[in-house]
Amino acid sequence: MHFSIPDTAEVNDEKGTSFTVYKIHINGVHHCTLRYKQLRHLHDQLVKLYNSDSLPCFPGKRFFSLSSSQAEERRLLLERYVQLVAQDVRISNSAVLTTFLRQAQQETHLNCTSNEVMLCIILPSSDTTVVEVGPTEQTESVMKKLCFKLGVGEDHTGYFGLYIEKLTERGWMLIRKLQSYESPYVSQLATNCCRITLRKSYWDPSYDNELMKNCVSLDLIYQQFVCEMENFNLNAQMKSDVNRLIKMEKKEELLKYARKIKFFGGICFSNCISNYPKPETDVTIHAVNKELIFVFEDKEMTFKVTRIRSWRITSVSSENWKEARLELSFEYLLSKDKMQWITIMSDQAVMISLSLQGIVDELMRKQSGSSGSSCSGGDRVTDDIGITATYMTQDGSIIPLISPSSKCRSISKKSIASKENLAVRFRISALGNSQAFVENHAFNEIQDDDL
């Protein structure tokens, strides 16, 4: 999760008393607006759950009005606090943080009083289906309802995910995958000109073999391939072969044939600007299994994920821009003893970052001997706690947090440890306004033979 607090606002309560609220963004999107005391309430509960020595320090309370410089200092300290909390695997996977973030999202964006709402979801075929959900229902629960309606087996649900797409001048743009800490209905309300789509959420095309065992799952991944054909660079013979298999409705045969096609199984991002191979280079980026591929000036450059040592997202501002833009930078081993920072300026910087993380997570599962894909909401730990977690609203009221369903798959402390040992840990960079700095420890396993 990439956290930032780019902005604050002064609001008045019912009595006319003014107070400051902090606009919290997750993965580049405004998720919720919270007061200082609400974040403090969360911290106090985390202290009860975990050793306080292992938690970041929470910014202290001041008893007098803050000056402009003090207010800015508090914003930066709170931003750093939430970044550090989110990068602690114990906390980011906890039911307490997940339900806190969902409740905060609902308080900020939801005015609906209905018990049920109709959620429209775009299928890979571009058809629309409607699912009846609770307005506050979490992503994983919505996924289960959708897959049940479509006839996707429960064991295949985790191979798919719900994604936000936004309408731009160039058409529909993939923005991000919906996570367990949000409610799809509320997320759609909070994002202008967007829609929710269903897509497969894995990178290795060999997982297609498992989905071919179910006719509905097979049809979904088949339809996604057909809709994305224009992203593939097919020669005349391949076009002929593909069209012939489509006409004959040879779905399994087509998907197996598709593995020969460059970029199959990945995501094609919109054109963006990179500093590689030279500043201001116009590139198209493809995220595929284990690689990022840059296409520019009829050339290609492949960046292997296992040679990326770390990456980060930064916010860049300019007087000529209406709003800040996001940059993704990754530190890459170009050759032996030569590291270079590759920077991308893209409206899809967060999605590219999450794609990198998804590829690494999939590598981790394979290294640990796990099969299949994680649940669409991500692995979640069921907290073994003896306290009742609560949420403080902006007016100071305390309400109980509803724990995630016990049916949601949880992972043990042992499996968390094995995950950390395998590939990825997180740290926060001290570089100005940068957000999450992700350090890829799979990089340490590279040998001279890999170069």
Residues 200, 220 contacting (CB under 8 angstroms): yes
Per-residue confidence (pLDDT) for residue 439, from 0 to 100 = 64
Spatial separation of the C-alpha atoms in residues 451 and 336, rounded to whole Å: 7
Per-residue confidence (pLDDT) for residue 316, from 0 to 100 = 72
Spatial separation of the C-alpha atoms in residues 91 and 22, rounded to whole Å: 21
Tokens read off for 396: 């100071």
CATH 3.90.1660.10 fits 267-356+439-450, yes or no: no
Strand order of the β-sheet with 3-12 is 3-12, 18-26, 29-35
| pLDDT, tens digit (0-9, with 9 covering 90-100), for 383-400 | 444 557 899 999 999 998
Per-residue confidence (pLDDT) for residue 27, from 0 to 100 = 82
Find where tokens 């909401």 sit: 377
Per-residue confidence (pLDDT) for residue 324, from 0 to 100 = 63
Taking 50 as the pLDDT cut, the residues of the chain under it are 375-385, 404-435, 441, 445
Architecture of domain 3-112+374-411 in CATH?
2-Layer Sandwich (3.30)
List the chain domain ranges. Answer: 3-112+374-411, 117-261, 267-356+439-450
Per-residue confidence (pLDDT) for residue 384, from 0 to 100 = 44
CATH 3.10.20.90 fits 117-261, yes or no: yes
Q: What is the pTM of this model?
A: 0.82
Helix and strand numbers, DSSP H then E, in the chain: 12, 20
